[in-house]
């Protein structure tokens, strides 16, 4: 066997793990698995938020677990009331996982975002986190 072919085969095998859609699909499936097994957790999920305990101010992800539980129970209003950003992300994961699996396994085309658009999306994400945090402070303090 050609040594170069073996090395390139290993590189190709490792490169697929670096694909953002593969990692997205695996991460999304892990979240869905965690949600499906939630009744088995008992009280393990009841971890206190250090920022909230020290300052009395909720962190940007406070009430996220309760929002995810409300989503799983089908109570969309309560989920959005508790933490709009986590609720929206949960709905996004439900849409992203099948699409990501289709790109990885089904050969669907993969979009390419130019660096300028990625930077704008990063700023939008930062703004959404800040707006969500302000909402949590106003609604839950």
Give the pLDDT confidence of 24-49 residue by residue, as tens digits. Answer: 777 777 777 877 777 776 665 566 78
The tens digit of pLDDT for each residue in 64-85 reads 888 887 887 788 899 899 999 9
Kindly report the number of other CB atoms within 10 A of residue 90's CB atom: 20
Would you give the end-to-end CA distance of the chain in angstroms?
Answer: 67
Length of the chain (residues): 141
- Tokens coding 116: 């300028």
- Rounded distance between C-alpha atoms, residue 128 and residue 124, angstroms: 6
The tens digit of pLDDT for each residue in 117-141 reads 888 989 999 999 999 999 999 998 8
Q: What's the CA dihedral at 88, 20, 24, 135 to 10 degrees?
A: -20
Kindly report the number of other CB atoms within 10 A of residue 134's CB atom: 11
**Domains of the chain by residue range:** 20-140
């Amino acid at each position: 066997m050609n040594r170069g072919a073996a090395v390139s085969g290993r590189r190709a095998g490792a490169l697929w793990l670096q694909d953002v859609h593969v990692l997205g699909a695996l991460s999304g499936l892990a979240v869905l698995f965690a949600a499906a097994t939630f009744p088995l957790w008992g009280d393990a999920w009841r971890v206190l938020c250090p920022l909230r305990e020290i300052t009395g101010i909720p962190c940007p992800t406070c009430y996220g677990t309760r929002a995810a539980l409300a989503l799983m129970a089908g109570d969309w209003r309560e989920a959005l009331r508790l933490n709009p950003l986590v609720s929206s992300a949960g709905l996004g994961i439900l849409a992203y996982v099948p699409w990501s699996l289709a790109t990885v396994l089904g050969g669907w085309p993969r979009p390419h975002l130019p660096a300028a658009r990625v930077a704008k999306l990063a700023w939008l994400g930062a703004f959404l986190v800040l707006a969500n945090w302000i909402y949590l402070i106003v609604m839950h303090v």
